[in-house]
Structure 1
Amino acid sequence: MPLVSIVLPVYNGADYLDQSIDSIRKQDLEDLELIIINDCSTDNSAEIARAHAAEDPRIQVHDNPENLRLPKSLNEGFKRAKGSYWSWTSHDNLYRPDALRRLTETLAADKDAVLVASDYSLIDDKGTVKRLRKLSPIETMIAGNAVGACFLYRADIAQKVGGYATDLFLAEDYEYWLRLGLEGKILYLSEDLYMYRHHGDSLTSTRQADIRRMDAIVKARYLPLMPDAPKGAKVSACRQIFKFHPNTLTRLKFALHAVRLRPVIILKQLGFMKPAANPASEPKVFVIGWQKTATSSVAHALAEHGIHCHTNVDEATQMFRGTLSLSDWLHSIDAHTGLKDFPGTYLYRELEARYPDAKFILTTRDEAGWLKSLIKHVSTYGSNDLINALYGTDMTDLADSPELQATALTIYRKHLHNVRMYFENRPDKLLEVDLRAPDAYDRFASFLGDEKKLDAFPRANVIEGNPELHVKTATEST
């Protein structure tokens, strides 16, 4: 009996199938079986699979009588599995040589764990590694798929919970991880053990809207079953259900649930409540430019003018996780003369209500340059919960996804529009400035009512050592 069973469904995957199978055959854990399910391919995928099976007795190939698609093909494969640990892979993805051994060792060491997942690399159609994909915290699973592409789970638990949901094509894996998570612990292994290929024909490239809709359906099913999930993750799930679920009543139900979870924050964001005014003892300056518009450079310049900006990333993380309320966050601003970064970016109304004499600086940038800078940031450091919260979706694949780029641009434009409308006809309250403009610093100093302290804005938070990515951005596509 093999220790590990791997199922590999394939439909017209001849371009990459040989590499995928070869990565499994070269595992340093040899006690495995590979079950290839040919889902009525019309190319030579079946011939490639059978050529490998003829060379390696650990490989078996089965042909579906009709095209069943992914969930049913997985279930067909696991009907034949004999291993103690199960996993599956795609025809275009690759395991690193020690992947199955490290996953098996980790899962076997914790009897209370049902599944282990690891980090992985994103590669392009030529196999070039683009960046590392770090998993989100497992405890935030209800907000988004925190298991990813590289995983292993116990066969006995899988047999207990049943097969993949055939009515949830495009979200069958996400639903399955949530179902397994109700049975025991999910472990995170901080090692890069897999290579996930992102190319134009992959499902994540071609079916983003459908994936979001199916994810929202899954979230609506499982959120009531996860009362101990972090509050911030539950609120995020409610928002995604409200945006993408196809049923109007379900959307309204979870909108109300979000209000119950965070009544003050949600109602204030909807404009039904305002914090009590509490004028500051000294004027404050808030930098409310969107991410990657040189807000850090402005903060450095403000410091030269005696205004020290508090960067509230820690508070943002606490607010996202539900451990810091909006009122407590506003109180924390009292001790500072300035502020930059999320969540102040979009809470400028609340900040002005609390500090009526405050001034606001909206940093801007040309769209093409802004988008390339955002892509470079995500490619260098990866996405995270805060970035995903800003854009309402997982931004990991930003460099390769025109749809994600279009989403980012839409949100960026919306922020600029909302700020401009809110401060319309109040030039004394808002300075809109592109730091690349030749008169930018002069206008900045004049807005502060101060003499110039510098010759120009200092550069800050510049990503070094990362060449410009050769990607076609959404602004270049239109």
Structure 2
Amino acid sequence: MTTPSPNSPPPDVTAPRIAFAVPVYNGERYLPRALEALQAQTEERWVAVVTDNASTDGTAEIARAAAEADPRIRYHRNEANLGANGNFNRSMALALETGAPFVKWAAHDDVPLPDYAARCLAELDARPEAVGAHTALRLVDDAGAPYPYDAEAGGFHDGDGGVWAWTPDTQRALDGPDPGARLLRFLRDKPGQWLVYAVFRAEAVRQSRPFAMPGVEDALCAELLLRGPIAYLDAPLFEQRHHAGSARHLSRRDYIEYETGVRPTGPLLPSAGRAVEFAKAITHAPLSGADRLRAWAAYGRFAFGLGRLRNLVVPGPDNYLGLGA
């Protein structure tokens, strides 16, 4: 891990430009590299709040040592495991308390390249209408090697025989001027798994509804998109890691337990619940009357399309009623 040179001035932690929320649970394998990536940022006016979700490995020792070596890194340990949702919410609440005007969830296994924060902040300074900014990305494996990108398939071949969805066209569409069009594209392409790691204006996140149920980063991202566009920088400055321990590999019940900290015993209805959360996002976002009508129209086009009917009646991982899950 990088430590400040004894001959260099101490980092400025009195007025950070950006606060990184770093939620982690048993992240000893990747956390050192993630913190090194933050320390390598060319934008040095930052703080990072590492929020340890009651880890049982060496996470605490790594984070405490980093905080002792660099005053910009702060360590918080939850007394009990709050589930991934609870820890994401806690990490962001602590990041917002720093007073930084911009915030970013920084997963313990992802790597922003050195110019990532500086480029995103410069874009947000130039575009006051944007609520966030994100760059093109690479999907990497547990060793940091990139997965191949396939434009025709619409994403990265993830090593498991599937495609991890991401396209520059989607990011450009989320940077458009019409909130209804942004919402419709978001609902169709389901980009929450990477969009949630953009840089956001702190005030926009503070005013939006936090994570409330499994997969509800989608609802948070949808509300932020209704508040304004997410500026897109067409340079691959962010490496998102996909590995054997990624939540994508979990069964639906295991995923819900991972997100909430509670093992579900009853019927599984996460998709139907997300539909309700999207409706709440439209209700909660500060839209003009005309823009709200366009947002409801976009939601209706998505909710009552043929794809939604298929997910209602065909068993499988996308079934709204949990059939075949």
- Normalised-by-shorter TM-score class: 0.5 to 0.7
Q: 1:177 aligns with which of 208, 211, 221?
A: 221
1:60 offset after TM fit, Å?
0.3
Does 2:165 align with 1:165? no
Q: Which residue of 1 aligns with 2:60?
A: 46
Does 2:132 align with 1:115? yes
1:119 offset after TM fit, Å?
2.0
Does 2:145 align with 1:145? no
1:141–1:26 CA distance, 2 compared to 1 (3 A): same
TM-score by length of 2: 0.67
Give the residue type in structure 1 aligned to 2:217: D
Give the residue type in structure 1 aligned to 2:206: Q
Question: Highest Rg: 1 or 2?
Answer: 1
8 Å Cα contact 2:219-2:277 kept in structure 1: no
**Deviation digits for residues 44-93 of structure 1, max 9, x if unmatched?**
01111111111110000000011002222122222322210011021111
1:107 offset after TM fit, Å?
1.6
8 Å Cα contact 1:124-1:130 kept in structure 2: yes
1:229–1:80 CA distance, 2 compared to 1 (3 A): closer
**Deviation digits for residues 413-470 of structure 1, max 9, x if unmatched?**
xxxxxxxxxxxxxxxxxxxxxxxxxxxxxxxxxxxxxxxxxxxxxxxxxxxxxxxxxx
How many equivalent residue pairs? Answer: 248
1:201 offset after TM fit, Å?
1.4
SS at match of 1:27: coil
8 Å Cα contact 1:121-1:195 kept in structure 2: yes
Query: What is the rounded CA distance, in whole Å, between the counterparts of 1:13 and 1:233 in structure 2?
Result: 37
**Deviation digits for residues 265-312 of structure 1, max 9, x if unmatched?**
xxxxxxxxxxxxxxxxxxxxxxxxxxxxxxxxxxxxxxxxxxxxxxxx
8 Å Cα contact 1:94-1:196 kept in structure 2: yes
1:143 offset after TM fit, Å?
1.8
SS at match of 2:244: coil
Does 2:203 align with 1:156? yes
SS at match of 2:127: coil
Q: Which residue of 1 aligns with 2:141?
A: 124
8 Å Cα contact 1:198-1:205 kept in structure 2: no
Segments of 5+ residues of structure 1 without an aligned counterpart are 252-391, 394-478
SS at match of 2:131: strand
1:220 offset after TM fit, Å?
4.5
1:95 offset after TM fit, Å?
0.9
1:42–1:243 CA distance, 2 compared to 1 (3 A): farther
Does 2:233 align with 1:189? yes
Q: Which residue of 2 aligns with 1:263?
A: none
1:182 offset after TM fit, Å?
2.4
Query: What is the rounded CA distance, in whole Å, between the counterparts of 1:112 and 1:131 in structure 2?
Result: 34
Does 2:245 align with 1:201? yes
1:208 offset after TM fit, Å?
6.4
1:33–1:92 CA distance, 2 compared to 1 (3 A): same
Q: 1:80 aligns with which of 94, 115, 136?
A: 94
1:58–1:126 CA distance, 2 compared to 1 (3 A): same
Two-structure CA RMSD over aligned residues (Å): 3.2
TM-score by length of 1: 0.47
1:172–1:222 CA distance, 2 compared to 1 (3 A): closer
Query: What is the rounded CA distance, in whole Å, between the counterparts of 2:135 and 2:109 in structure 1?
Result: 18
8 Å Cα contact 2:42-2:118 kept in structure 1: yes
1:203–1:153 CA distance, 2 compared to 1 (3 A): same
Whichever structure has more helix as a proportion of its residues is 1
Q: Which residue of 2 aligns with 1:217?
A: 273
1:206 offset after TM fit, Å?
1.9
Q: 2:167 aligns with which of 134, 140, 149?
A: 134
**Deviation digits for residues 109-141 of structure 1, max 9, x if unmatched?**
111111223221111111101135434232201
Query: What is the rounded CA distance, in whole Å, between the counterparts of 2:139 and 2:118 in structure 1?
Result: 21
1:102–1:235 CA distance, 2 compared to 1 (3 A): same
Percent identical pairs in the alignment equals: 25
1:218–1:97 CA distance, 2 compared to 1 (3 A): same
Give the residue type in structure 1 aligned to 2:101: S
1:98–1:215 CA distance, 2 compared to 1 (3 A): farther
Does 2:273 align with 1:228? no
Structure 1 segment 374-389 matched on structure 2, within 5 A: none
8 Å Cα contact 2:216-2:277 kept in structure 1: no
**Deviation digits for residues 141-167 of structure 1, max 9, x if unmatched?**
1223335254011111222224x223x
SS at match of 2:79: coil
8 Å Cα contact 1:121-1:194 kept in structure 2: yes
Does 2:72 align with 1:55? no
